[in-house]
Amino acid sequence: MTGLAVLIVEDESLVRMAAVDGLRAAGFDVFEAEDGDEALAVLARHPEIGALFTDVQMPGVVDGLALAGCSCATRPDLITVVTSGRSEPSAGELPPRARFVAKPYHIDAIARLIRAMA
């Protein structure tokens, strides 16, 4: 499935760059943001984005869980994958269709998961 647009939200630049490169190599159109506030602006400007891949802990007002909840509330068809290396969110903290993947992850597994959720 090429052409699916994914927004990657990660505050650690090297981790974000690796995810961007990996998902582009897997055939996805990729947008990126370094925090939740920027991600909300990117989502508002780009309705073609069909998937969100976000870290939980980020600086700013909107963390990854809040971003996932807000985004899924306004765009229920948005494929959402949440990641963290610190703690796993409880089922009630994730939007109904969102999935959690612990860090460290392999980017090929993320690509497969996004395709499976599409």
Over residues 68-87, the pLDDT tens digits come to 999 999 999 999 999 999 88
Other residues' Cβ atoms within 10 Å of the Cβ of residue 52: 28
pTM (2 decimals)?
0.95
Longest dimension (CA), the chain: 34
The 10s digit of each residue's pLDDT in 12-68 is 999 999 999 999 999 999 999 999 999 999 999 999 999 999 999 999 899 999 999
The confidence score (pLDDT) of residue 2 equals 56
**Which CATH number applies to 26-117?**
3.40.50.2300
CA angle, residues 114, 81, 50, in degrees to nearest 5: 55
Report which of 27, 22, 37, 25 is spatially closest to residue 5, judged by C-alpha positions: 27
Measured CA to CA, the distance from residue 32 to residue 20 in angstroms comes to 7
Under a CB-based contact definition with an 8 Å cutoff, are residues 81 and 23 in contact? Answer: no
Domain boundaries along the sequence of the chain = 26-117
pLDDT recorded at residue 106: 96
